[in-house]
Structures are given as C-alpha cells and as structure tokens.
Amino acid sequence: MGQSLEEKTAALIAKDPDFKALVEEHRQLDEKLKEIDRKVYLLPDEEVERKRLQKLKLARKDKIAQILNA
C-alpha cells in the first residue's frame, strides 16, 4: 500500500531542502494572506498585494502537488 499524502510530504521535506523551502514559502504566504484578511477594509494597494500573494501561493501549491504526484 502506498504512502499517504502527509507521509510523502513529510518524507520529501526531510530529504529535499528545495521542497522544504517550497512548503515553507507556501506556509508564509498563507500567513501573510490571513493577516491581510483580518482587516475589515483594504486599501486599493492592499487589494493588489492580496491578489499577488494569492497567485504566488497558488503557484507554490501547484508546484508542491506536481512534485508529490510525480
């Protein structure tokens, strides 16, 4: 039986520093987005930054999924 996704992720984090950095960057982008989302109102510049962070986070997530499914 194959490894679960969490087990595979943990194993890759342990042995691949590039993958670990990718996962960490995804986590940091998520934290930044949560911080922005706590605000009641966003200025136009903050909206642009939020969209930019969302795109970066999605790109990291896609790359992580691509590596895990390889």
Q: What is the pLDDT along the chain (70 residues), one digit of tens a residue?
A: 467 888 899 999 999 999 999 999 999 999 999 999 999 999 999 999 999 999 999 999 999 999 998 8
Q: Which of 23, 54, 22 is nearest to 37 (CA)?
A: 54
* pTM of the predicted model as reported, rounded to 2 decimal places: 0.85
**5 φ/ψ angles, rounded to the nearest 5 degrees:** -60, -40
Q: CA–CA distance from 10 to each of 54, 56, 69 (Å)?
A: 24, 22, 14
